[in-house]
Structure 1
Amino acid sequence: MCDQNGEFVFVLPGWEGSATDSRVLRNVVSRPYGLRVPKGFLASYREERYHLSDWRGVGNASTTAREFFNMKHSSARNVIERAFRLLNGRWAILRGKSFYPIQVQCRTITECFLIHNLITREMGIGAMLDVPDEENSASVGLDGDHIEFVESSKEWTKFRDDLAVEMFTRWQRA
């Protein structure tokens, strides 16, 4: 997990590359000292345009609140993808097959993340991530209220729908 500046805030090495995001997330939030995710985790809309490339070019602007929400969601997802590309580009040991024992691999991965964060913080590499500014990004969370398990709920689906409409309406006015 990384923040808007491309600094990693939670790392759990040791999962195989084929593990799905939802499987890892379910495991991480169920651990006694696992990731504390503020309530408000919102998934994108299915069967709507999602990838940023879908909106490139003249005449491809969002036409619905759901599309607009997905565009912003995709933009936030690009931050983590770019952070991983920077990390893998910087540390060759992360790119290839490793023959070290799994404990050594996990420590090495964690150390690469820590040094990546130090470089990002001290040298301003996060500015290269082309992160959306705070004014145009949505942040949701409740103080002291964290996700204990992952499941869909009608309340959060309605909240996401309302948020998408509000974001789209503001964007149209601008």
Structure 2
Amino acid sequence: RELFGGPEWRQLDAGTISEDAAVARVQARIPRYAAQVRRAMDEWSNHFVPMPGMQGLVARLKAQGYGLYLLSNAGLSFFSYYKKAEVFRYFDGFVISAKEKLLKPDPALYRRLLDRYRLKAEECLFIDDLRENIEGAERVGIKGHCFAGSEELERYLKRSGIL
């Protein structure tokens, strides 16, 4: 919790702190667990597993010709671990908060996605598990849906005529 739920994790996502500096700060707070903090930072991405049902759903959307883009609050380490997860091969592009020095729900981050990939807000659907991030998308004209699991998302996409 000190590492993943602490202020340093948000700073990593914002691109305002290095992993080594984040680890050092957390280790200073909990010196008894210094080795475990370092190991957790080094190994957390090895345990990335897509949510059940999502890879198949993403593959179906891609097969139907939809452009798929990832807009994520993530640290720079994203660029080393995304290649390990097969689900990411379906995406046409990525906008990662640490690289952009912006965090969701800042409307500027959503605009960056639209501008970089020449997307029209009114043709996009943004899916996220946090309501505040949906609201950020809606502020720039992107329709949003709050993620509550792959089965619920599939039902929503069918009701919306997307699948």
Q: Report the TM-score when normalising by structure 1.
A: 0.29
Q: Report the TM-score when normalising by structure 2.
A: 0.30
More contact order relative to length (CA 8 Å, sep ≥ 6): 1
Q: Which has the higher strand share?
A: 2
